[in-house]
Amino acid sequence: MFFSRKAEPATQKVAVILAKYFSLDVEDTLPWCAFSQPENEDAGVTVTLPFCIATQLDRLKQEVLNQLKGKLDDDQLTFKQNVASGETEVAPVTNIKNIIAVASGKGGVGKSTTSINLAFALMQEGAKVGILDADIYGPSIPIMLGNPDAHPESEDNKHMQPLMSHGIVANSIGYLVPQEDAAVWRGPMASRALKQLLDETLWPVLDYLIVDMPPGTGDIQLTMAQQVPLTASVVVTTPQDLALADAQKGISMFEKVNVPVLGLIENMSYYQCRACGTKDYVFSKDGGEALAERHGLPLLGQLPLDIHIREHGDAGTPLLITSPESALSESYREAARALSMQLALTVTPRKGAVKHIKGNPIGIVGKE
Ligand SMILES: Nc1ncnc2c1ncn2[C@@H]1O[C@H](COP(=O)(O)OP(=O)(O)OP(=O)(O)O)[C@@H](O)[C@H]1O
């Protein structure tokens, strides 16, 4: 199809449709749209999204083509994803575009479970993802990944290769020292161990490194939040008053160290009876939504209390890998898409971001 040069350019038309689709302004979506060949506008438009929504791209493309009413053919519209690096207070880590802390004020609300499932959900949405288990005193990522006896390899005794598991890379203190050793470390030693894990792991190029923080909002967590170049954070809570009060402290902690909070994830929101379908609000109802509203934050996701979530975690068979089509997996992907978009749209992009990218993307560096 041909667009006259005097008429509105195709890039503008696509940007208007995208703005409506994502409830954004055209100024936000116009930078995503470019002619596929600048010297030949008839070659079509390429949209480069700064976030990951791979499972939605076919639907999005169809929607744009429908709205264009035949002005572009299917082969004249291309969608790509290129996650940008967000600004950080501390100098970035080589190869990692964005480090996202997953935190909770209260212990046991499902922070590690959420971290691991979000990591796989982001991967399924097209991102290169790593996970760093910063829960020095109770590392659970090795169990959840099903490789608790694995050890990272090192060629020079200074740096280690992260473990590869189902398409993501991971490192944890749990792969390095027996748990009873780490359990007696004092605060400074725990923070130093985390910094070492972060700096001495040979991370491939990652769009996101998910950091599973230790529970709580004390000195250890504050020091970690200050030392690690966090792009942003996500706070996990249950709808229960006690957990919400602690989640509030988590939000304040990140505000104190200038780390943007992307939103809340409410875990164990309800239990749905398998026999009759009734929902029971075991830990109270809508608490996460109320807290999010109070802080002007989005509620990125609500996950039920579900036996499959617990079973997959305990068995080390990640839910999103074993049952990618399940409704639970889709709920995690929905949260991952919201997280990715929220980061791209609210965090200031880093200037000179390519300077700290020196390696290959995940998948090229090693095999599972
Ligand atoms: N939505 C859920 N449905 C069912 N079980 C869950 C859910 N979320 C977490 N669990 C289970 O609850 C327990 C605690 O979860 P998890 O270890 O993720 O919490 P945590 O907040 O990281 O804990 P800690 O404070 O010890 O770091 C685990 O047994 C996990 O399998």
Q: What is the ipTM of this complex?
A: 0.98
Helix ranges, the chain (H): 10-22, 26-29, 57-68, 111-124, 141-145, 179-182, 187-200, 219-227, 241-256, 287-294, 307-315, 319-322, 327-346
- Closest by CA to 330, choosing from 57, 104, 120, is 120
Mean predicted confidence (pLDDT) in 179-189: 69
State how beta strands 279-280 and 271-272 pair: antiparallel
CB 91 within 8 A of CB 84: no
Mean predicted confidence (pLDDT) in 347-356: 80
Tell me if 301 is assigned to a ligand binding site.
no
Of the chain, the percentage scoring pLDDT greater than 90 comes to 62
Q: Name the residue at shortest CA distance from atom 11 of ligand 1.
A: 310
CB 271 within 8 A of CB 282: yes
Whether ligand 1 lies within 6 angstroms of the CB of 231 is answered as no
Mean predicted confidence (pLDDT) in 183-190: 69
**Mean confidence (pLDDT) of the chain:** 90
Tell me if 250 is assigned to a ligand binding site.
no
- Burial (CB < 10 A; 0-12, 13-18, 19+), residue 110, is buried
> In the predicted model, is pLDDT for residue 175 greater than 70?
yes
3-state SS assignment for residue 243:
helix
**Phi/psi of residue 105, each to 5°?**
-70, -45
- Weakest-pLDDT range from 195-199, 220-224, 254-258: 220-224
Mean predicted confidence (pLDDT) in 159-164: 94
pLDDT at residue 278, as a whole number: 87
- Tell me the domain boundaries of the chain: 10-81, 99-356
pLDDT at residue 235, as a whole number: 95
Ligand 1 pocket test: which of 104, 112, 114, 235 has the largest number of ligand atoms within 8 Å of its C-beta?
112
**Banded model confidence at residue 22, pLDDT cuts 50, 70, 90:** very high
Whether ligand 1 lies within 6 angstroms of the CB of 312 is answered as no
Tell me if 218 is assigned to a ligand binding site.
no
Whether ligand 1 lies within 6 angstroms of the CB of 329 is answered as no
Helix ranges, 94-167 (H): 111-124, 141-145
**Banded model confidence at residue 221, pLDDT cuts 50, 70, 90:** confident
pLDDT at residue 184, as a whole number: 63
Consecutive H or E run containing 45? strand 45-49
So what CATH class is 99-356? alpha beta
**Banded model confidence at residue 366, pLDDT cuts 50, 70, 90:** very low
Q: Could you read off the pLDDT of 53-110 as tens digits, one per residue?
A: 999 999 999 999 999 998 999 999 999 999 989 989 888 899 999 999 999 988 889 9
Amino acid at position 121, single letter: A
**Phi/psi of residue 80, each to 5°?**
-130, 165
Give the residue with greater pLDDT, 330 vs 281.
330
Tell me if 105 is assigned to a ligand binding site.
yes
Amino acid at position 330, single letter: E
- Weakest-pLDDT range from 113-122, 181-190, 268-277: 181-190
pLDDT at residue 368, as a whole number: 40
**Banded model confidence at residue 300, pLDDT cuts 50, 70, 90:** very high
CB 35 within 8 A of CB 44: yes
Atom of ligand 1 nearest to the CA of 311: 31
Rg of the chain over Cα atoms, rounded to whole angstroms, equals 21
- Residue indicated by tokens 């009734």: 278
CB 71 within 8 A of CB 64: no
Mean predicted confidence (pLDDT) in 179-184: 68
Whether ligand 1 lies within 6 angstroms of the CB of 313 is answered as yes
Distance of alpha carbon 15 from alpha carbon 227, whole angstroms: 39
Whether ligand 1 lies within 6 angstroms of the CB of 213 is answered as no
Distance of alpha carbon 304 from alpha carbon 306, whole angstroms: 6
CB 83 within 8 A of CB 208: yes
Consecutive H or E run containing 279? strand 279-280
Q: Name the residue at shortest CA distance from atom 8 of ligand 1.
A: 110
Amino acid at position 213, single letter: M
**Phi/psi of residue 211, each to 5°?**
-110, 115
**Banded model confidence at residue 6, pLDDT cuts 50, 70, 90:** low
Q: How far is the CA of 262 from the centre of ligand 1 (A)?
A: 21
Whether ligand 1 lies within 6 angstroms of the CB of 221 is answered as no
Give the residue with greater pLDDT, 222 vs 101.
101
Whether ligand 1 lies within 6 angstroms of the CB of 107 is answered as yes
Tell me if 110 is assigned to a ligand binding site.
yes
pTM of full prediction above 0.95: no
Whether ligand 1 lies within 6 angstroms of the CB of 126 is answered as no
pLDDT at residue 182, as a whole number: 64
Q: Name the residue at shortest CA distance from atom 2 of ligand 1.
A: 305
Distance of alpha carbon 300 from alpha carbon 151, whole angstroms: 34
Ligand 1 pocket test: which of 310, 328, 331 has the largest number of ligand atoms within 8 Å of its C-beta?
310
Amino acid at position 296, single letter: G
Beta bridge partners of 19: none
Q: How far is the CA of 98 from the centre of ligand 1 (A)?
A: 25
Whether ligand 1 lies within 6 angstroms of the CB of 31 is answered as no
